[in-house]
Amino acid sequence: MEPAPSLRWKMSSPKIEELIEFASLKLWEPSYPAALVRRFLCELISGPDMILDLHDKQGRTAAAVLLDLVTNTAKDACLEILGIRPDKDPFATLKEIVSWAMKRAPANRQGIQLALSDEIKISAEQLKTLGLQSYYDAYEMQRTKAAISIEPQPRLRRALERDAEHIYSVFKSAFAQSPDASIPEFPLWKRGFMTTPKFHYFVWEEDSKIVGFASLVEEPDANEIEVRSIGVLPAFGGQGIGRHLLEHCIDQAEKLNYNTCRLTVAARNSKALGLYLKAGFVQTEKYRCFRRNFKSV
């Protein structure tokens, strides 16, 4: 499904730029880099009515976006809060945002999902009154700059443009059962594939077939780099491919001279969590993901 034509015009509109600037104030957690917020607002929604922009007499009070052009195991739309002004009651504002999202979510969705940092002081009891049920927990992890010694892997190489469809196929297969993965449809995903020098893809081949990949995203403003995703076809799991891809990403981060490298992992993914801990990553923040099923309304 292609984004609504009107959104292409809005990609450089004053309102989009204002919302990106509002998100950069980090008035809510999790917060996102500007490039990702731009994707939220311009690519991963079907139209401008998926953007909520709240104001009072003093100006903007809150902003949110409902991603309806992503797929996940629960078949939900993903509610991303860009910020809530500090002088506003977070629970009252969240209540208004959730109510709006429930009305806006497309009929082909089963519900909505929302991630909250442990730093957000809204109790589980309050969230239950909004119909939000605990879904999964995730950790943000970080590795500070430290040399890593790795051996060259002849089956690992930098991705090429012609690899897009194969990487996407691995992406879909590797994360098919992961509740924390929301994947854009292929035309949208491909639009962002290798379109910026700050986004790096690497692939692992077996018999000239791509069976694993990793993506690495630079965030120069924060002087850090993120391992966005590592995926391996289930049939090739347990062979150390994920570890080699992770080590390569860390090595690239060192060569690009970033002070920190970060990633996010679902708490229930004990295998990946163990891999990251062994590689020197430490937990810096915990997020709770909640969902509201339309059937519970």
Q: pLDDT for 145-183, tens place per residue? A: 887 788 889 999 999 999 999 999 999 999 998 999 999
Average pLDDT of the segment spanning 228-239: 96
> Could you tell me which residue, 90 or 35, shows the higher pLDDT?
90
Cβ-Cβ contacts under 8 Å for 31 (sequence gap 6 or more): 23, 83
Give yes or no: residues 87 and 180 share one domain.
no
Angle 190-250-139 from CA coordinates, rounded to 5°: 80
d(CA 26, CA 88): 15
pLDDT confidence bin for 295, thresholds 50/70/90:
confident
d(CA 80, CA 64): 6
Supply the range of the domain harboring residue 246: 147-279
pLDDT confidence bin for 34, thresholds 50/70/90:
confident
pLDDT confidence bin for 2, thresholds 50/70/90:
very low
Give yes or no: residues 211 and 131 share one domain.
no
Count: domains in the chain = 2
Burial label for 167, CB within 10 Å (0-12, 13-18, 19+), is buried
Give yes or no: residues 98 and 151 share one domain.
no
Give yes or no: residues 11 and 124 share one domain.
yes
Each residue's pLDDT tens digit, 126-137: 999 999 999 999
d(CA 289, CA 294): 17
Q: Which range among 115-129, 141-155, 203-217 has the greatest average pLDDT?
A: 203-217
Give yes or no: residues 124 and 221 share one domain.
no
Give yes or no: residues 31 and 128 share one domain.
yes
pLDDT score of 74: 94
pLDDT score of 219: 81
pLDDT confidence bin for 224, thresholds 50/70/90:
confident
Q: What is the DSSP letter of 3?
A: P
> Could you tell me which residue, 195 or 253, shows the higher pLDDT?
253
From 30-34, 54-58, 93-97, the region with the lowest mean pLDDT: 30-34
Give yes or no: residues 123 and 195 share one domain.
no
Q: The CATH number of the domain where 169 resides is what?
A: 3.40.630.30
Average pLDDT of the segment spanning 28-47: 90
Give yes or no: residues 243 and 162 share one domain.
yes
Give yes or no: residues 122 and 223 share one domain.
no
Give yes or no: residues 74 and 113 share one domain.
yes
Give yes or no: residues 225 and 185 share one domain.
yes
| Parallel, antiparallel or unpaired: strands 224-232 and 260-266 | parallel
Give yes or no: residues 33 and 112 share one domain.
yes
